[in-house]
Amino acid sequence: MDLAWASLALICYFLSSAGFAAERAGLWRRWKTVAQLLLAAGALLQVIEFAKGALQTGNLPVTNFPQSLSFLACLTALAGLLVITRLRMTVVGTVVSPIVFVVLGIALLMMGPRRLTLPATLRSAWLPVHVTLAFLGYALFVLAAGVSLVYLTYERRLKAKTLSLEDGGPAPSLEKLDRVNYHLLGWGFLMLTLAIATGAIWADATWGHFWSWEPQESWSLLIWLLYAALLESRLTIGWRGRRAAALTIILFSVLVGSFVGVSLVTPGKHGGNFG
């Protein structure tokens, strides 16, 4: 990880978080545009960082825990920008910017001084495909949890009659938040499905078997089943609104626990701190 580029991105994310907070507080409406530009600048700086790393190593440099966190922050920022701009949901920025700031900050604190060297087993065209799909799925689950948090906050304030529809700018309806949450879960589930499939194909080509039941694979399958159950419950049972938002946050907590725990305690073939 390039300390200079990552540090500049971290500053952009911090200022973006402050800008979104100021805009929602109604201090200055133009903070919305400034905050979005800062979020975009941070993501662009990270893209440059990973492009440089790819040129140095010959592949996507995401092979240890700090770099995984940094890559997750980058994809979350990019996906968050898409939701904010395409769906006109500025309030999502108040969740996305602080999250990517914290995630990238942790990555910088954990960054080691060693130069990255990819082992032979990771020098494959499958690496950028598999890793990007997996972390894009995680990024969409991050956004789904963020939207769910906004939903629960808005619902509580509406019931308490402390939220105006013009509070800090136009507030999206609860129906729209629920719909966006569902679509984010669906796309995240698709990305995770493709990540598992490409990982199995890569494993068979490298080690001669599709599945080895190591910790990362087992947890990935469990997470896949849990999100599949959540989506199925929305389609068949009709779980919506508060219940779906709460379950989305709970499942995301399980995802975070498994990702951090497996990466740091029992990484297996997926962990590797190569240097």
Let me know: does 45 contact 8? Beta carbons within 8 Å.
yes
Report which of 2, 105, 118 is spatially closest to residue 53, judged by C-alpha positions.
2
Domain-wise residue ranges, the chain:
1-113, 121-268
Question: What is the per-residue pLDDT across 133-186, written as a single tens digit (0 to 9) for each?
Answer: 999 999 999 999 999 999 998 888 777 766 554 444 556 788 899 999 999 999
pLDDT band at 265 (very low <50, low <70, confident <90, very high): low
What pLDDT, on a 0 to 100 scale, did the predictor assign at position 121? 62
Let me know: does 95 contact 28? Beta carbons within 8 Å.
no
Helix (H) or strand (E) holding 46: helix 31-57
Tell me the C-alpha distance between 33 and 190, whole Å: 31
Question: What is the per-residue pLDDT across 36-67, written as a single tens digit (0 to 9) for each?
Answer: 999 999 999 999 999 988 888 777 888 788 88
